[in-house]
Amino acid sequence: MRVYPTFFKLAFSWMDPELAHTLGFAGIKLAHRCGIGRVLSRLTAPAIGGEVRVMGLTFPSAFGLAAGFDKGATGTHALTNLGFGHVEIGTVTGQGQPGNPRPRLFRLVEDRAVINRMGFNNDGAQAVAPRVVAALQSLAQEAARTGRARPVIGVNIGKTKVVGLEDAAQDYVSSTRVLAPYADYLVVNVSSPNTPGLRQLQELDSLRPLLAAVREEADRVTSRRVPLLVKIAPDLADEYVLAVADLALDLGLDGIVATNTTIAREGLGLRTPAEEVAADGAGGLSGAPLGRRSLEVLRLLREHVGDRLVLVSVGGVTTAQDVQERLDAGASLVQGYTAFLYEGPFWAARINRGLARLAPRGR
């Protein structure tokens, strides 16, 4: 019998979603500081043989936590203790910023979904970088002690709101300069709907010089080649998805993260009454209703690029079966986030146990 659904209903369902997130994350970090995290890491560790090798990195599990939960790398080690094979921090911008006005996070409980218009609230690259260093050191020490692979830390970077589109490339470059020396991999986020004009950067004429500049800067400031991926929206037309894939191949990128949240409300089969959804206002919708489109984009990309790009599938993932379906469809890695809010702290561990049972059959 699972306790968390009852706990969620009693403790969190009535609470402002952003406050609930803050309190829940604080609890995870407190458990880590009190030493409970070490116990949890033994209980939730991915099964032996669950490691995957992607982009030259060893991931303890193919399943990780998507960007948006740990925006500032304040609890990365604590999150990996819950069983995530990697944590993608961010989105981090060149300058710290408070994000959009509150309220900016809304639950669609009947749909196991969330609408957010957070607006890249974060402390900025200069503040986040030393936290990434500390997390990497702490994780390396634990890996040496346990003999298990170190969880991977990805860094997702985006545009500072006050920076104009004409200066966006340099803004991404400034974040790259600070964070690339420490990131296991980098993701360029041009697909959030919550920063005005950001999705215009997905247009090929804007995207090509931006990605080329980030690649060049990452190579300049590091002695190793940091894997670079681009995160795309589910709302792109299929032909444009393929055009972005061709661009990624042409520029020598390592992969694509597919997909971000959607601005769509129609055609998702939402159970929440339309007037309630409309009242929540603008923002990106994530969670179970996004699953079908996310899987479509994954299959479209894999058919087009073969094994030439790493594909990280995110959107609408809840169960181990969902994760295995993405892996079978060609995902190199799978990420989740929204279901974490509904499934509770042992969600990643259940996914890992389920993958251990499904993987032989899946192969």
271 labeled part of a ligand binding site? no
56 labeled part of a ligand binding site? no
* Distance between CA atoms of residues 10 and 39, nearest Å: 27
Query: Which of helix, strand or coil describes residue 257?
Result: strand
One DSSP character per residue, 42-54 reads HHHPPPTT--EEE
68 labeled part of a ligand binding site? yes
287 labeled part of a ligand binding site? yes
156 labeled part of a ligand binding site? yes
Per-position b or e across 295-311, b if 16+ CB within 10 A of its CB: bbbbbbbbeebeeebbb
117 labeled part of a ligand binding site? yes
* Distance between CA atoms of residues 232 and 336, nearest Å: 15
Could you tell me which residues come within 8 angstroms of residue 207 by beta carbon, excluding any fewer than 6 positions away? 190, 201, 230, 244, 247
121 labeled part of a ligand binding site? no
363 labeled part of a ligand binding site? no
What are 155's strand-pairing partners? 89, 186
122 labeled part of a ligand binding site? no
State both tokens at 105.
Answer: 């996070």
Element at 91 (helix H, strand E): strand 86-92
69 labeled part of a ligand binding site? yes
71 labeled part of a ligand binding site? yes
Of 153, 177, 184, 169, the C-alpha closest to 69 is 153
337 labeled part of a ligand binding site? yes
Among candidate residues 174, 175, 191, 192, the one labeled active-site is 192
Query: Residue 304 phi/psi, 5° resolution?
Result: -80, -40
Per-position b or e across 183-212, b if 16+ CB within 10 A of its CB: bbbbbbbbbbbbbeebbebbeeebbeebbb
Place of tokens 């500072």: 160
Could you tell me which residues come within 8 angstroms of residue 47 by beta carbon, excluding any fewer than 6 positions away? 352, 353, 355, 356
Cβ-defined contacts of 18-21 (< 8 Å, 24+): 18/102, 18/103, 18/104, 18/105, 20/341, 21/69, 21/105, 21/341
154 labeled part of a ligand binding site? no
50 labeled part of a ligand binding site? no
State both tokens at 26.
Answer: 């604080």
- For residue 63, CA distances in Å to 10, 41, 46, 298, 317 come to 29, 15, 9, 16, 10
> Is 174 annotated in the active site?
no
Specify the length of the chain in residues: 363
231 labeled part of a ligand binding site? yes
Binding residues for FMN: 67-71, 91, 156, 189, 231, 259, 287, 316, 337-338
Annotated binding site for substrate: 71, 116-120, 189, 194, 260-261
**What residues act catalytically?**
192
Q: Which residues are annotated as a binding site?
A: 67-71, 91, 116-120, 156, 189, 194, 231, 259-261, 287, 316, 337-338
